[in-house]
Amino acid sequence: MDNKFDLIVIGAGSGGLAAAKRAASYGARVSIIEGSKIGGTCVIRGCVPKKLMVYAANSNNDIKNSSGYGISFEDLTFNSEILLKNVKDEVSRLSKMHLNSLSKLNVKVFNGWGSFIDQNHIEISCPNTGKSINKISGERILISVGGKPKRLNIQGGQFLWSSNDLFELNSFPDSILIVGGGYIACEFACIFRNLGIEVTQVIRSNNLLNGFDADLSNSLKDTIISSGIDLLFNEQLSSVSKKRDVLEINFKSGLKRVFNSVLVAAGRTPNLDNLKLTSIGLEMNGEYLKVNEFNQTTKKNIFAIGDIIDKPNLTPVAIEQGRVFADNYYGGLSRLVNYKFVPKAVFTIPELASVGMTEKEAIEKFSKENIKIFKCKFVPMSNTFKNNKNKSMLKLVVKKIDDKILGCHMFGDASSEIIQMASVALNAGVTKKEFDMTMALHPTVSEEFVTMY
């Protein structure tokens, strides 16, 4: 009985933890397998430690730019060793908190990597030696192993960091090259630059943040350039060589540059390699596992959630998928995940956030004549006396025929907090007229959303 469970969860990230806890709360006998710290990407090497670094960068940026408010300083310094130690301590605290909550719910935790023997049996291997240490069986199995950073297959690629490596550092470098134009690359570019580090960002295309509204991308581009980050568009690395304490980078254009370190943030891919999925013959949807609307794979007792399926790869989405799974199969409910209006944010400096359709998506679906764009761009009051004059940008995408708001986008401080509440409105089917009828709260940035004409 010690090795037989109602539910086996492979991967103790946000989604897996949510499913395991919810299923156990219904009385299911649950086990969870994890070869690293409990918490997964978001808690250990993603959202949480990154956001703590963003707070540090924002604090440093605010102090440096606030002389107009009468705030003066001498010999302002930043000690990355203190920040990184505190971040690691907080991550460990959160991991232990999750472990304690699993214990209180009688969820059996196996420290190791799980792989399939057949569709009901899992082998657990030691995270250090790779040797088999246990075998367990489950009536249902939930795969929630998350994603992993993509690596560059080039000469000298072993010298390049991934985003995982950043959270293991003891101190920050003096200069860094960041490869990629997505949200991870842009976030770390802003973190490092606003903490006084020399940053160059190389992007293989001609724009930042593919998939976000173009006005958001352009606003970020302007701010990144004004902050002193060197952007290299339409460029790629060809090789890397280590020269004493620096890395010499050869670009495909023939350009050569030298940096203390290089971070590759060029996307993520499902972390499925070690599961031995060929032994059970699960069908794939490209690089993702194929699932139905209930997150069930092509084997009826095996389910998948999070970054390994073709849905928005976001922590709250994985958590909801895990809870919906547990509610349906252990709580007697019948629920589906609501993917209609999923908000997303990029924690650059300043940050940006979005919910619903971009202008481009709306045009492609309804045609340009059938949508209306409302937009404003301005220097926020908070920057009145600051040295920088970064502008905020707010934008609404509206369908003409029924006045429904299709998309809401914002660039500027507190964008994520504001767009979270805008998501509630869009999910309820709000119209532009209803935005207009809402009283403004003055003086705020967000009041522009209800006063745009």
Token pair listed for 180: 């990629």
Cβ neighbours of 137 (radius 10 Å): 15
φ and ψ at 378, to 5 degrees?
-160, 160
Token pair listed for 162: 């991934």
Q: Report the run of H or E that residue 108 belongs to, with start and end.
A: strand 108-111
Half-sphere exposure (Cβ direction) of 269: Cα atoms closer than 13 Å: 9
Closest CA to 25 of 102, 91, 109, 92: 102
Residues 6+ apart with CB under 8 A from 168: none
- Distance between CA 113 and CA 291 in Å, rounded? 23
Residues 6+ apart with CB under 8 A from 41: 13, 14, 47, 146, 147, 307
Residues 6+ apart with CB under 8 A from 111: 34, 35, 127
Spot the catalytic one: 98, 121, 409, 442: 442
- Distance between CA 245 and CA 266 in Å, rounded? 24
Helices 47-64, 183-194: inter-axial angle, 10-degree rounding: 40
Active site residue 442: yes
Cβ neighbours of 276 (radius 10 Å): 14
The catalytic residue positions are 442
